[in-house]
Amino acid sequence: MSVDRSRVLVTRVALFLAACLSCVLALQWLVDLGMVGFPDGYITPYARATSTLLHVLVWACLAQSLYFACRALFGKRFEPAPLFLQILIAAAPTVVPVFIVKHCPRSQVCSNIYEALTNTMMDDGTGG
């Protein structure tokens, strides 16, 4: 019985850590989105085009953190393998696209794809 309790405890802790990580990432991204255009007020066309998508992904990430926190605190059944698979599956459509969108201006391949799709030059706001 003690093996089952320790297994459940480890799974609860892992779920809670996943919830905390998801929440911290989402809050950091919300701060980043709030700082778009600072200090001069200029918002690049790329930032304007991706703002809605990033807001949706950030709120989905916050919802995911709430789900995992509730699951860790109030869950009844814990099978570690399916729960860890749920964490990975939940991160794929929320965290991965945010990293791609946020790092696209620094990637030549991504910049080329963006320019080909939109017929506009990538303007990441750097320079003078």
Per-residue DSSP letters for 8-31? HHHHHHHHHHHHHHHHHHHHHHHH
> How far is C-alpha 66 from the geometric centre of its chain's CA atoms?
14
If you ran DSSP here, which 8-state letter would residue 37 be given? Answer: T
- Indicate whether 126 pLDDT > 90: no
Chain mean pLDDT for the chain: 87
Confidence (pLDDT) at 124 = 60
Other CB atoms within 10 A of residue 45 CB: 14
Provide the whole-model pTM: 0.82
26-65 pLDDT, tens digit per residue, is 999 999 999 988 888 888 888 888 999 999 999 999 999 9
